[in-house]
Structure 1
Amino acid sequence: MSPAQQTAVNAQEDQGACSTMGARYGSPAHTRCMMQQQERRDQEHLLFLEQARINSELALNAQKMRESRDRQDDD
């Protein structure tokens, strides 16, 4: 899915969520709701990126430990 298509899907989902919560399209409540939906999505993305960074760091540390242990075994 292209970024533009994903943006359109997100907007539709957000519209539905805000309508379900009773925020009428074009109202200040609807605008706030849409912003909150975007902030939620942004936070989820940041959490995903942070978890990926942590996983990468853990894998790198494990690899370094294995290499260090292998060097000690060779000595």
Structure 2
Amino acid sequence: MPRTDDPKASENTHSVIFSKPRDLSREFGISPKTLMRWAAAGKINRFKVNSRLVLFKREEIQSYIENAKVSKGGVK
């Protein structure tokens, strides 16, 4: 759950949800390695919190998947 300290903040802006690759892979049916490849190719952004934790914006992943062109070899 996103944390908001100010109740008015949610009224004026929409929350950004960051998720771990494993959680996104389960939700969207893709491999965590695929997310890392997309990030390495510059197709999506990743947010490295520390040496062991990388997060992605859920909305960005969803948007990329919805807008991606599907070819014989997969999502391009």
Higher RCO, 1 or 2 (CA under 8 Å, sep at least 6)?
2
TM-score, normalised to structure 1, is 0.26
Question: Higher helix proportion, which one?
Answer: 1
Question: Higher strand proportion, which one?
Answer: 2
TM-score, normalised to structure 2, is 0.25
